[in-house]
Chains A and B, each alone.
Chain A
Amino acid sequence: MGVEIIGKMKFRAKLVDVGCLNHFTRVVNTISKLTKTCTLRLTTDNLFFMLSDKVANGGVSMWCELSQANFFDEFQLEGVSAEANEIYLEFQPENLSRALRTAQNAKSLKIKLTKKHCPCLTLAAELPSLSSVSRVVTHDIPVDVIPRRLWQDLKEPNVPEFDVSIYLPPLKTMKNVVDRMKNLSHHLVVEANLSGEMNLKIETDLVSVSTHFKDLGNPSWGDDASQGPSQDRAAEAMACARVDIKKLQQFLASQQVNPSKAMCNIVNKRMLHFILLHEDVSLQYFIPAVA
């Protein structure tokens, strides 16, 4: 077997604040509800949870970015090489979610990259105990290290040239409506205009249902090129996309944290691009349109 050593990697981090631990856990829970497998990218400043738009995912893709300093007290990383000081791992977020779940009352949580039976992300939590000696729970989560030559496929997606950008109504309301609509239809049309109006519509042989949201507001994107097509747009003209209702429902059901800002960019008949922003986490989710 021919091999070439390209470098060594090291990663370890420590988290002691209960609030940060809870927040981090909720982010991971959200990711685990969105996808079975995803890519974790570690840099010195950030963590990224990524899912690229393969056929296996039904065309959805996801990009979630966390600023590590807002969560971890210690964070040390040595990537594959000096100029590529990053680590890409593929793993099952459900495992991480499960490991974090039982560590919510931990005094401290340490995460590091290890080699056990295979490469692993090892979490060790120090838990309260009845004696002077803490209980320690260790979880070894198997990961696959993604070689550098595949990194180019995992770049941050560009904001698409959208036709309408609109702030979302309260996610809970949207979720309740989409939950019911899912019982009635396989597809749903999302439409919105630059007057802050958004409609969710389904239509089948048995029933048609449309829910109308008003006064949502439209975010301004500054002088981006993407503003171009929408500048000529009539205020009431709706841009729409027809999507698989299960994917939209899954996205809405996965949210564990209330975002400070939530918006949707619609590329007419092509795609829905959701952006959810919190203080220290941003999540982008892309759902393709179906015919």
Chain B
Amino acid sequence: MPLSTQSEAGDDQYVLVASLDNAKNLSNILKAITFKDHALFNATANGLKVTVEDSKCLQANAFIQAEIFQEFTIQEDSVSFQVNLTVLLDCLTIFGGSTVPGVTTALRMCYKGYGFPLTLFLEEGGVVTVCKINTQEPEDPIDFEFCSTNVTNKVILQSDSLKEAFSELDMTSEILQITMSPSQPYFRLSTFGNAGNAHYDYPKDSDMMELFQCTKTQTNRYKMSLLKPSTKALALSCKVSVRTDNRGFLSLQYLVRNDDGQICFVEYYCCPDEEVEEE
């Protein structure tokens, strides 16, 4: 592999080494959660989890399993660091956003541990770029305590149908209301903006609805500004599962296929907007 000539003497100085033949398999999925500058990286033997949070009400996670990488070596049980996500993305895409078909950027990501920068080696067409990005102290991610046993309503939809709705959402509405019910309207997204209100209804027997498990009628409101960024993850995904629990917490899980057809996951957790009583 061309990049092996770039590695410094002795890979064992790195606590984490991860390689990809196609850097897009990492950069694309990270774009789906880039709504804040900083991200927490946590690597375990299972793979890489990247977390971005917003005002303690929203959390987005991207999971890239170890199997996705051509090489994934970790010297400790868990390696964590915080890094500027926008800078990282600029580095991962240093050779340009769109490339000629067949030409990919190879990536080797190395981390020596606490206090050291994250080092990236990228290569495309014989040209090599080395990036050293400063890391910060990792913070613990919020635990939303969302567990399957407390899930009251769950639907799985094909992403295409939701993509249009999300891109058309009335941004003058401060909240996005989600209604899930075993009876009409089944699954409804609502906005309340300057023009009036708007509702997007998905019937349970629609051919876009892959799974419909709703036990009770629930209507919850979430801040639009928190959920709007999830549109990026939706755009990348082929399926999405929408779940709410008995507290009204929302879990959105997106199934993303990368360039090589491998599956990764992105999930968003969101607290309900507390200013409004549940109807």
**A and B: partners?**
yes
A interface list, Cβ under 8 A from B? 169, 172-173, 176-177, 179-181, 183-184, 205-215
Count of residues in B whose CB is under 8 Å from the partner chain: 19
Query: A60 vs B96: C-alpha distance in the bound complex, in angstroms?
Result: 26
Asked if A210 and B129 make an inter-chain contact with CB atoms under 8 angstroms apart, the answer reads: yes
On chain A, the residues within 8 Å of B84 by CB distance are 206-207
Whether a CB of chain A sits under 8 angstroms from the CB of B134 is yes
Whether a CB of chain A sits under 8 angstroms from the CB of B128 is yes
Asked if B131 and A208 make an inter-chain contact with CB atoms under 8 angstroms apart, the answer reads: yes
Query: A212 vs B95: C-alpha distance in the bound complex, in angstroms?
Result: 12
Asked if B132 and A207 make an inter-chain contact with CB atoms under 8 angstroms apart, the answer reads: yes
On chain B, the residues within 8 Å of A214 by CB distance are 126
Whether a CB of chain A sits under 8 angstroms from the CB of B147 is no
- From A182, which residue of chain B is reached at the shortest CB distance? B90
Whether a CB of chain A sits under 8 angstroms from the CB of B87 is yes
Asked if B127 and A213 make an inter-chain contact with CB atoms under 8 angstroms apart, the answer reads: yes
Asked if A212 and B127 make an inter-chain contact with CB atoms under 8 angstroms apart, the answer reads: yes
23 A-B interface contacts by CB (under 8 A): A169-B127, A173-B96, A173-B125, A173-B127, A176-B94, A176-B95, A179-B96, A180-B90, A180-B94, A180-B96, A206-B84, A206-B134, A207-B131, A207-B132, A207-B133, A208-B131, A209-B129, A209-B131, A209-B132, A210-B130, A211-B94, A211-B127, A211-B129
Asked if B127 and A206 make an inter-chain contact with CB atoms under 8 angstroms apart, the answer reads: no
Asked if B130 and A209 make an inter-chain contact with CB atoms under 8 angstroms apart, the answer reads: yes
Whether a CB of chain A sits under 8 angstroms from the CB of B266 is no
Report whether over half of chain B's contact residues are helix, strand or loop; otherwise say mixed. Answer: mixed
On chain B, the residues within 8 Å of A208 by CB distance are 131-132
Chain B 75-114 residues near chain A, CB threshold 8 A: 84, 86-87, 90-91, 93-96
Asked if B125 and A205 make an inter-chain contact with CB atoms under 8 angstroms apart, the answer reads: no
Query: A215 vs B127: C-alpha distance in the bound complex, in angstroms?
Result: 10
Asked if A177 and B134 make an inter-chain contact with CB atoms under 8 angstroms apart, the answer reads: no
Query: A173 vs B100: C-alpha distance in the bound complex, in angstroms?
Result: 11
On chain B, the residues within 8 Å of A211 by CB distance are 94, 127-129
Query: A214 vs B127: C-alpha distance in the bound complex, in angstroms?
Result: 7
- From B125, which residue of chain A is reached at the shortest CB distance? A173
Asked if B96 and A209 make an inter-chain contact with CB atoms under 8 angstroms apart, the answer reads: no
Q: How far is the CB of A70 from chain B (nearest CB, A)?
A: 31
Q: How far is the CB of B46 from chain A (nearest CB, A)?
A: 28
- Extra A-B contacts (5), CB below 8 Å, given A180-B91, A212-B130, A214-B126: A176-B94, A180-B96, A206-B134, A207-B132, A212-B129
Asked if B91 and A207 make an inter-chain contact with CB atoms under 8 angstroms apart, the answer reads: yes
Asked if B94 and A212 make an inter-chain contact with CB atoms under 8 angstroms apart, the answer reads: no
Query: A101 vs B129: C-alpha distance in the bound complex, in angstroms?
Result: 38
Query: A272 vs B46: C-alpha distance in the bound complex, in angstroms?
Result: 49
Query: A17 vs B93: C-alpha distance in the bound complex, in angstroms?
Result: 41
B109-152 Cβ-contact flags toward A at 8 Å (1 or 0): 00000000000000001111111111000000000000000000
Query: A207 vs B129: C-alpha distance in the bound complex, in angstroms?
Result: 13
- From A201, which residue of chain B is reached at the shortest CB distance? B130
Asked if A205 and B96 make an inter-chain contact with CB atoms under 8 angstroms apart, the answer reads: no
Query: A207 vs B134: C-alpha distance in the bound complex, in angstroms?
Result: 6
On chain A, the residues within 8 Å of B129 by CB distance are 177, 209-212
Q: How far is the CB of B36 from chain A (nearest CB, A)?
A: 15
Query: A173 vs B134: C-alpha distance in the bound complex, in angstroms?
Result: 26
With beta carbons under 8 angstroms apart, the residue of A169, A209, A213 that contacts B91 is A209
Query: A177 vs B122: C-alpha distance in the bound complex, in angstroms?
Result: 12
- From A176, which residue of chain B is reached at the shortest CB distance? B96
On chain B, the residues within 8 Å of A172 by CB distance are 96
Query: A259 vs B127: C-alpha distance in the bound complex, in angstroms?
Result: 20
Query: A212 vs B94: C-alpha distance in the bound complex, in angstroms?
Result: 12
With beta carbons under 8 angstroms apart, the residue of B93, B127, B134 that contacts A180 is B93
On chain A, the residues within 8 Å of B87 by CB distance are 184, 206-207
Asked if A184 and B90 make an inter-chain contact with CB atoms under 8 angstroms apart, the answer reads: yes
Asked if B134 and A212 make an inter-chain contact with CB atoms under 8 angstroms apart, the answer reads: no
Query: A169 vs B127: C-alpha distance in the bound complex, in angstroms?
Result: 10
Query: A69 vs B96: C-alpha distance in the bound complex, in angstroms?
Result: 38
On chain A, the residues within 8 Å of B125 by CB distance are 173
Asked if B95 and A173 make an inter-chain contact with CB atoms under 8 angstroms apart, the answer reads: yes
On chain B, the residues within 8 Å of A215 by CB distance are 126
On chain B, the residues within 8 Å of A206 by CB distance are 84, 87, 133-134
On chain A, the residues within 8 Å of B86 by CB distance are 183
Asked if A177 and B94 make an inter-chain contact with CB atoms under 8 angstroms apart, the answer reads: yes
On chain B, the residues within 8 Å of A212 by CB distance are 127-130
Query: A160 vs B116: C-alpha distance in the bound complex, in angstroms?
Result: 43
Q: How far is the CB of B4 from chain A (nearest CB, A)?
A: 16
* In the complex with contacts A169-B127, A173-B127, A206-B84, A183-B134 CB distance below 8 A: no
- From B95, which residue of chain A is reached at the shortest CB distance? A176
Query: A213 vs B126: C-alpha distance in the bound complex, in angstroms?
Result: 8
Q: How far is the CB of B108 from chain A (nearest CB, A)?
A: 15
